[in-house]
Amino acid sequence: MKTIQHTQDPIIQKFRTTSFKIAVQKNGELTDLSHLIISHLLHNQFTSHNNSKRLISVSDKGDIGIFWAKNKSMFQLVADGFVDAAVLGNDQILEENENQNVVIINNLKKVANWPIVIATPIDSHIKKMSQIQSIATQYPNISRRFFTKRHLPIKIIPFKGSCEGSVYLSPKINAVVDIAVTGMTLRDNGLRRWLNPITYVYPVIIANAMSLQQKDKRNYFVRLKKHLTREDVYEN
């Protein structure tokens, strides 16, 4: 029986031998922004992901490998040392347990930030937090800390993915806590966001603690730690 002969993909070969590997959100709010941040800090250009099935790519110079990952998996990829660094939202840090293998090396709040807000149905009679019985959210730990600090016994219902429509699934859910990038998704689902945010989500760069100690990676981390503002990233 004949076997099908496969030629090794040159990008896969290059990726395996790259000196430095970094994870970036495959698709989402941070995808394009992360691309700009990495290109600016590391002076390397990456081929845009463009929603292809490929999960890896290599910088034009061939020394940096980029792994296109799901947002919620990037923290663990860095913690386990599969990649040296990642650009992700600080909400992932706040939602994860503390991990000594992960170090925040750059806070990019001045580049971009988005509010996490409480939202209730437009026709709701809820006017204050003490009237809320339960909320649905992708951010259960952030929400729990917020309400516990205010001594409010609000039930937290964790949701994976979009939670905006959850208030119509059950009368027991009368609010959501979610990120409001433009606010359009909340409005489109008949929700009114409260003006005072719970907190803000902004990009951070995290690193694997062991990778930080490796001399051959030092130059990459020095560049990743540089101060950035929104004007720096979008100047071109």
Tens-level pLDDT at each residue, the chain (236 residues): 566 555 567 888 888 889 999 999 888 778 888 888 888 888 876 665 555 678 888 888 889 999 999 888 899 999 999 999 999 999 888 887 667 899 999 999 999 999 999 999 999 889 899 999 999 999 999 999 999 999 999 999 998 877 888 888 888 889 999 988 888 889 998 999 998 999 999 999 999 999 999 999 999 999 999 988 888 887 75
Topology classification of domain 114-200: D-Maltodextrin-Binding Protein; domain 2 (3.40.190)
User: So where are the chain's domains?
Assistant: 10-112+202-234, 114-200
Residues 6+ apart with CB under 8 A from 76: none
Q: Which amino acid, one-letter code, is at 156?
A: I
Helix (H) or strand (E) holding 155: strand 155-158
Instruction: Provide the 10 A C-beta neighbour count for residue 15.
Output: 19
Phi and psi torsions of 206, nearest 5°:
-110, 155
Q: What is the pTM of this model?
A: 0.84
Residue with tokens 């008949």: 190
13 pairs with which residues across the strands? Answer: none
- Do 114-200 and 10-112+202-234 have the same topology in CATH? yes
CATH classification (class only), 10-112+202-234: alpha beta
